A = this chain, B = another copy of it.
C-alpha cells in the first residue's frame, strides 16, 4: 500500500486520495472552465510551484481524471482537459465553493481574484429556477477581469472576455458581493457607486435574482 494512504476502504477516502492533496481541487476548478496549457494553469495559480503543478497533473492523469492531449501541428502544444470522470467533480466543486464563500468577507492583502475563480463563482451562484426560459447576457468587469454570462433559454454559459452585444455591462469591484448576497439592493449599489452600468440598467435586478449567494 502507498505510504501516505489512509488505510480505509471507503469512497470518501478514495476520493481524498485522488483529489485531496494540496492544490489538486483548485487545478480541477480551473480545468472545469476549459482545457488549458501548463502555462495557462500557472497563470491562474500564481503561487503554485511548477514542480507541484507538474506532479499534480501527473497524478490526475494517472487517476483518469485529467487527459493530456497534444494539439495537432503546427502548434504541437499540450493541453490538459478533464475526462468524463473528472468533469463529474463539477457539482462538488461548486458546492464546496458555495460553502466556503459564506465566510468570504474582504479580500486579504495578498489575496487575488482570478478569471477562473470568478467564472466558477458565477456558475456556482446561478439559480436555474430563476432563469427558466430567460434570454439575456451580461458582461462583468472586475478590475482587470472581464467575463461574460450568456443565458439562452434558461441555460447558462460563462466565459472569459468581453461580450460586445451584452444586454448589460456591469463594472464593479469587491462590492459585487454585497449586491449578490442581497445585503445591498440594486438601487443602493448604483447609488453608492459600487456598480456602474451601461446598457439596460433595469436588468441589474434580474441579474441579482439570477446570480444569488
Contacts and interface: CB of A to CB of B under 8 A. Distances in A.
A47 B93 CA distance: 27
Of the candidates A13, A18, A93, the one having the most CB atoms from chain B within 10 angstroms of its own CB is: A13
Nearest to A118: B10
A1 B47 contact: no
- Copy total for this chain: 2
Contacts of A112: 7-9
Contacts of A15: 96-97, 99-100
B13 A100 contact: yes
A92 interface: yes
Given A20-B22, A111-B1, A9 B92 contact: no
Interface string A30-67: 00000000000000001100000000000000001000
Interface in A78-106: 85, 88-89, 91-93, 95-104
